[in-house]
Structure 1
Amino acid sequence: MGDTPLRQGPGPERGLFSLAELPPPLIQGLTARSVELFHDPRAHDRPLAAQVVGVLFTRTSTRTRTAFTVATLRLGGSPVGFGPGDLQLNTGETVGDTGRVLGSMLDLLVARTAGPLDELRNLSRSGRLPVVNAMAAQEHPSQGLCDLATLALTFGDLTGIQVLYVGEGNNTAVALAHGLAAVPGARVTFATPAGYGLPEDELRTAERRAGTVGAAVEQIHELAAAPADVDVVYTTRWQTTGTVKPDPDWREAFRPFHVDEHLLDRWPRASFMHDLPAHRGDEVSGRVLDGPRSLAWTQAAMKLSSAMAVLEWAAGPHG
């Protein structure tokens, strides 16, 4: 007789899908752990030893894919990479069937699809394994944790931090909203072109959480209405990975939101952040991106330690 066939049904979803679903103490803990691992990448006991981590990226990635691959190796695990043309999803196999197969062979899956977040939840349920959202259409939570860790590295205690985000209300902005909404006394203002703001339901969710910790999340559509005091000015590239804007003249709406030295000088003590890749001359000037107030390159390096913190948690009993 051969081995007994595997006949398991779907299980509960596990992993990191949205920062809105993580309690504030956990977000703060992952932020602190990211900073600790940034200072000492060996401050762990190889929690992924003998584990295999799938790294599925159907969209382009430099920082996130490299970070999660290297983080798996640093934590003692073995990564298996999948590119956009590698899986039978391209020939019509369902997400559920794919998840079931991957779950029978992998211990954990990191996935970037730029598609619906529900696809990642389905992979987790069908495969009965933890899944880390490395970017879906709705949210980029691992970037949000990286951003919080970069802020913590720079400013220490984040209580009362004031952030101005300039540009499209994309999946990075959604993660930043949910992350800072968990920080006591924080204020984040999203200055977005009209028609390109955060999704209303995400904004309302972040506002409700912010109210429980004395934080504030707000959205404006004119930079003239930006707060007088800001610790950080944050922008992202205008064209989000995996998306196309329906308005052919969309750049005209975005031009007033270009971050140059003149804009940054409205807040002489503010730092600058960018999740990269950057298009100098579009969302940011080269003088700002490469200038002395830019945290963008520290932010990029923080991707690795924040990925390590996420994988360590996701592989544990509560992931």
Structure 2
Amino acid sequence: MNNHFEGQSFLKEIDFTPQELTYLIDFASHLKAMKQQNIPHPYLQGKNIALLFEKTSTRTRSAFTVAAHDLGAHPEFLGKDDIQLGKKESVSDTAKVLGSMFDGIEFRGFDQATVETLAKDSGVPVWNGLTDDWHPTQMIADFMTLKAHFGHLAGLTLTYVGDGRNNMANSLLVTSAMLGVNIHIGAPADLQPAATVVALAQQYADVSGSEILITADPTQAAANADALYTDVWVSMGEQVDYGARIQALLPFQINADLVAATGKAETIIMHCLPAFHDHQTKTGAALGEKYDLPALEITDDVFNSPQAVVFEEAGNRMPAIKAIMAVTLGNLFIPDCLFA
């Protein structure tokens, strides 16, 4: 028996095989059930986890913190103003220091190179809580949510509409291709995924049977979707002309018409949050009032409809992250036959 995960980092989806991603999804569901049944699972008893955050966070920070406590570990939050990461101390030097004290490191920030350096030089497992390129912990939660609703993943069709070049689009494209889920990306031509990301996804799709569709036609993108997925139209820290971006992406808003365009009554609605579905946030209100829109990437009626699973999806971030930390740091017994 060889634990395929022990000591490994999770920096992007392709760090693990499709079989290993499937195991993580199923193990996350198992841990969720154990928590609901009040069955203790302290696989990381006595471990110490560093949580490095360059970007602010609600779900990722909360999920890592609660998951660590449930696993018996101690999480230590280190925000961008708490340590010298990249300012007075190089990422490499910081990695070596933290690796000498902590058993695992989470990083959420901008540059994928930062999390890669942390993993290379710390000597402990490092988990990507989000970079500008990839969002792998979100993927375990998302596909866990899909599997819970449909009972399987292969053959489902997932449609993502909006900014097709951001970390969510990248991760959904590649992960869907890995797991045999048909993936449609609906985005304007200048906001479609990079050719390198599409080529990577296609390599996996050729093996899994996943069909990839990238189109500037939102109705074509939505056709036959089992799940409609969107994200905010401007990523954290991105400097753009909001008016031009909104005008470009308004045809890709998830609204009642786009939901109807799926042609399916059981389509679920997904969003990684936060969402500008009303004016109950300062940003949503400011943009909504300036551009005379009640909502941006998703309308309030759809966001709060019975088809929406956004809060179940958000809650699944915790068991998903728990599964990732447990398998890479918990010295678990995982039979080889699961990956044959």
Structure 2 length normalisation: TM-score?
Answer: 0.85
- Map 1:35-46 onto structure 2 (within 5 A): 35-41=29-35, 45-46=41-42
How far off its partner does 1:64 sit?
Answer: 0.7
How far off its partner does 1:247 sit?
Answer: 7.6
Q: Please, which runs of 5 or more residues in structure 2 have no aligned partner?
A: 1-6, 278-294, 333-340
- Map 1:1-319 onto structure 2 (within 5 A): 14-41=8-35, 45-89=41-85, 91-115=87-111, 117-169=112-164, 170-184=166-180, 186-226=181-221, 228-245=223-240, 249-267=244-262, 268-280=265-277, 281-316=295-330
Q: Name the SS of the counterpart of 2:316 in structure 1.
A: helix
Once residues 222 and 235 of structure 2 are traced to their aligned partners in structure 1, the CA distance between those partners, rounded to angstroms, is 26
Please tell me the residue identity of whatever aligns with 1:235. T
Once residues 63 and 160 of structure 1 are traced to their aligned partners in structure 2, the CA distance between those partners, rounded to angstroms, is 29
| Structure 1 residue runs of 4 or more that deviate by more than 6 Å after TM superposition | none
Q: Please, which runs of 5 or more residues in structure 1 have no aligned partner?
A: 1-12
Q: Name the SS of the counterpart of 1:244 in structure 2.
A: coil
State whether residues 37 and 43 of structure 1, in contact with CA within 8 Å, keep that contact through their aligned partners in structure 2: no
For the aligned residue pairs, the C-alpha RMSD in angstroms reads 1.7
Please tell me the residue identity of whatever aligns with 2:309. L
Q: Name the SS of the counterpart of 1:249 in structure 2.
A: helix
Q: Name the SS of the counterpart of 1:293 in structure 2.
A: coil
1:90–1:122 distance in 2 versus 1, CA, 3 Å: closer
1:43–1:183 distance in 2 versus 1, CA, 3 Å: farther
Once residues 153 and 291 of structure 1 are traced to their aligned partners in structure 2, the CA distance between those partners, rounded to angstroms, is 18
How far off its partner does 1:157 sit?
Answer: 1.2
Q: Name the SS of the counterpart of 2:85 in structure 1.
A: helix
Once residues 195 and 44 of structure 1 are traced to their aligned partners in structure 2, the CA distance between those partners, rounded to angstroms, is 49
Please tell me the residue identity of whatever aligns with 1:269. E
1:247–1:195 distance in 2 versus 1, CA, 3 Å: farther
Which string of whole-angstrom CA distances, capped at 9 and with x for unpartnered residues, describes residues 113-144 of structure 1?
122x1211111221111100000111011111
Once residues 255 and 141 of structure 1 are traced to their aligned partners in structure 2, the CA distance between those partners, rounded to angstroms, is 27
- Decide which structure has greater helix share: 2
Structure 1 length normalisation: TM-score?
Answer: 0.91
1:314–1:44 distance in 2 versus 1, CA, 3 Å: farther
Once residues 159 and 230 of structure 1 are traced to their aligned partners in structure 2, the CA distance between those partners, rounded to angstroms, is 13
Number of matched residues?
304
| Percent identity for Structure 1 against Structure 2 | 28
